[in-house]
Structure 1
Amino acid sequence: MTSETPVTVYPPDETGGRRVRADGTILGLAFSVRDVVAFLQEAGLQGWDEMDVVRSTAIEWRGGGPEVWAQ
């Protein structure tokens, strides 16, 4: 995965978790920006941190931005 790969973070579910998808693959269910960072690092973006995730235009936040973790 490269930083040009579109990543989608879906709206929170009833537990507050947000599905994270990259390259058409579900990476996991995130409960915070820190979780999104961990998934992206596991997918090959080891240098990314929380600020990269919050600022990146390669991440599409659906149902609210990185500050939204509840329905």
Structure 2
Amino acid sequence: MPWQTPIVVHPPAADGGRRVTVRGQDVGVAHSDGELTELLRRAGIGAADIALDDPHLVEWRGTAHAWTDA
């Protein structure tokens, strides 16, 4: 099995929300970096481990930190 990042932020939907998965499990939809951080915290990822720009931790599908589908 190929290596995968543990967190995937999927492309924005029409409403700007982005589905988020952690280790293949859907953890919710975020509409901002702050909401994304909160989803990850609720999924059990400690604040010290949340590095949204670390490509080894987070795979942004689409433009990173973009919260609209424009």
State the TM-score, normalizing by the size of structure 2. 0.79
Match of 1:60 in 2: 59
Aligned to 2:47, the other structure's residue is in SS state coil
Kindly indicate whether residue 65 of structure 2 is the aligned counterpart of residue 70 of structure 1. no
* Unaligned stretches of 5+ residues in structure 1: none
Match of 2:37 in 1: 37
Alpha-carbon distance in structure 2 between the residues aligned to 1:9 and 1:40: 11
For residue 61 of structure 1, what is the amino acid of its counterpart? W
Equivalent pairs counted in the alignment come to 64
1:46/1:40 CA distance change after superposition, 3 Å: same
Percent pairwise identity: 36
> 1:7-33: per-residue Cα shift (whole Å, max 9, x none)?
100110010000000111111010001
1:49 positional shift? 7.9
Tell me which structure has the larger Cα radius of gyration: 2
Structure whose residues are more often strand by fraction: 2
Match of 2:20 in 1: 20
RMSD (Å) for aligned C-alpha atoms: 1.8
1:20/1:48 CA distance change after superposition, 3 Å: farther
1:63 positional shift? 1.4
